[in-house]
Amino acid sequence: MPVGAGDRDDRRRRGTVRAVVVEELGGPEVLRLREWPDPEPEPGEVVVDIEFSGVNFMDTGTRSGFSTPGRPPFVPGVEGAGRITALGEGVSGFATGDRVAWVFAYGSYAERIAIPADRIVPIPDDIPSDIAAATMMQGLTAHHFVTESAPLPEGATALVHSVAGGVGRIVVQLLARRGVRVIGLVSREEKVPVAKKAGADEVLVSSGGDFVDRVKALTGGEGVHAVFDGGGAATFWRSIEVLRRAGTLVFYGPLLGDIPTVRMLDLPRSVKVTYAVFADHIHTRELLHQHTADLFDKIREGELHIDISRRYPLGAAEQAHTDIESRRTSGKLLLDPRL
């Protein structure tokens, strides 16, 4: 049921908003809908009424203690979109009523948030707010991979893990428009059409490390120029095994099992391994605006499709985390605080 205006007014009088709160670290069941202090902008911040909050695999690590904004209680979520309702001292270039999107602002699983102005970007008039919210974390991650971590030329071949997932699907689209041949991995047969639609040239069904021989066969025994591996520690060495000489492994799966320990002498064929840290790609406000503008341009021009597969009310955050951890979802999951 939509949240009534009367309920919101009552909370305003109490100085609270609804938010998903982690009161102790643990599984999805620790995500509880609570009243939370209504934020006020500090200098350099804006307050935003949230329309959509992105659900990311990173958030499961926040909830379980892998990486948190501090000791509980806290509000998870780092990505979203909405309208500015208040400006803090010193903020320029934005006005109340502006639609904005953001990334890496903890507290996004809520009705309202105070965000540093250097972490928000304007949403173009022709980009819907839900698409903008769904683009920030996964879109910028994928953009980082294909422009900085492994900028492959036309004619190269790449292997992309979890190609039907949020990041994987965007990586495939960005690679395909560069003329890169993409071999995609999916965990279930029903995800093959999703991967094909995203632009994968060949799709292999694999639930572990049984893809090596098939990838080598598809590349005439040479291997691929790059592997984009979000499968975690379980697939790390298999991904290295399918790289050709001087190939690149872009690894981004530390939440799935132990982080591999690598001895330099164990790396074959002069391969390169990179753990692509999101913040390194957008370490300035200018880069954040530049790369999100590029992504919005590609969406506008039809070169990039952002798929939103499920939307949940704030009170169903537990179910959203259960779904994303099941690895059965494809596309983006969003929370809608207005539901």
Q: What is the pLDDT of residues 83-95, one digit of tens each?
A: 999 999 999 999 9
Residue 264 CA neighbour count, 13 Å, CB half: 0
Whether residue 211 is found in the same domain as residue 87: no
What crossing angle do the helices spanning 317-325 and 57-64 adopt, rounded to 10°?
Answer: 110
Q: Which domain holds residue 132?
A: 5-137+284-336
Whether residue 167 is found in the same domain as residue 261: yes
- What pLDDT is stored for residue 8 in this prediction? 66
- What pLDDT is stored for residue 103 in this prediction? 94
Mean confidence (pLDDT) of the chain = 92
- What pLDDT is stored for residue 259 in this prediction? 74
Whether residue 121 is found in the same domain as residue 197: no
Question: Would strands 181-186 and 157-160 be described as parallel, antiparallel, or unpaired?
Answer: parallel
144 found inside a domain? no
* Bridge partner residues of 184 (DSSP): 160, 203
Q: What is the pLDDT of residues 271-285, one digit of tens each?
A: 999 988 877 878 899
What is the arithmetic mean of pLDDT over 322-336? 88
Q: What is the pLDDT of residues 131-178, one digit of tens each?
A: 999 999 999 999 999 999 999 999 999 999 999 888 999 999 999 999
Whether residue 68 is found in the same domain as residue 123: yes
- What pLDDT is stored for residue 257 in this prediction? 62
What is the arithmetic mean of pLDDT over 101-109? 96
- What pLDDT is stored for residue 143 in this prediction? 95
Whether residue 268 is found in the same domain as residue 288: no
- What pLDDT is stored for residue 89 in this prediction? 97
Residue 214 has pLDDT above 70, yes or no: yes
* Bridge partner residues of 312 (DSSP): 335
Structure tokens at 114: 């105070």
Which of the two residues, 328 and 201, has the higher pLDDT score? 201
How far apart are the C-alpha atoms of 282 and 278, rounded to whole Å?
Answer: 7
Residue 260 has pLDDT above 90, yes or no: no
Q: What is the pLDDT of residues 120-131, one digit of tens each?
A: 999 999 999 999
What is the arithmetic mean of pLDDT over 264-268? 93
CA 25 from centroid of its chain's CA atoms: 21
- The neighbour count for residue 15, using CB atoms within 10 Å, is 10
Sort 85 into a burial class: Cβ within 10 Å, 0-12 / 13-18 / 19+: middle
What is the arithmetic mean of pLDDT over 27-53? 97
Assess contact for 236 and 258: CB atoms under 8 A: no
143 found inside a domain? no
What is the arithmetic mean of pLDDT over 38-64? 96
pTM value > 0.75: yes
What is the arithmetic mean of pLDDT over 256-265? 79
High-pLDDT (> 70) share of the chain, %:
94
Residue 253 has pLDDT above 90, yes or no: no
- The neighbour count for residue 119, using CB atoms within 10 Å, is 19
Assess contact for 113 and 107: CB atoms under 8 A: yes
What is the arithmetic mean of pLDDT over 303-310? 94
Residue 239 has pLDDT above 90, yes or no: yes
In sequence order, what are the residues at sequence separation of 6 or more whose Cβ sits closer than 8 angstroms to the Cβ of residue 126? 300
Residue 254 has pLDDT above 90, yes or no: no
- What is the radius of gyration, based on Cα positions, of the chain? 20
146 found inside a domain? no
In sequence order, what are the residues at sequence separation of 6 or more whose Cβ sits closer than 8 angstroms to the Cβ of residue 234? 208, 209, 256, 257
- What pLDDT is stored for residue 14 in this prediction? 76
Q: Domain count of the chain?
A: 2
How far apart are the C-alpha atoms of 122 and 93, rounded to whole Å?
Answer: 10
High-pLDDT (> 90) share of the chain, %:
79
Q: Looking at residue 25, which CATH number applies to its domain?
A: 3.90.180.10
Whether residue 104 is found in the same domain as residue 228: no
Q: Looking at residue 187, which CATH number applies to its domain?
A: 3.40.50.720
Residue type, 43: P
Residue 338 has pLDDT above 80, yes or no: yes
Which of the two residues, 37 and 57, has the higher pLDDT score? 37
Whether residue 131 is found in the same domain as residue 11: yes
- How far is residue 181 from each of residues 140, 154, 205, 317, measured CA to CA in Å? 21, 8, 17, 37
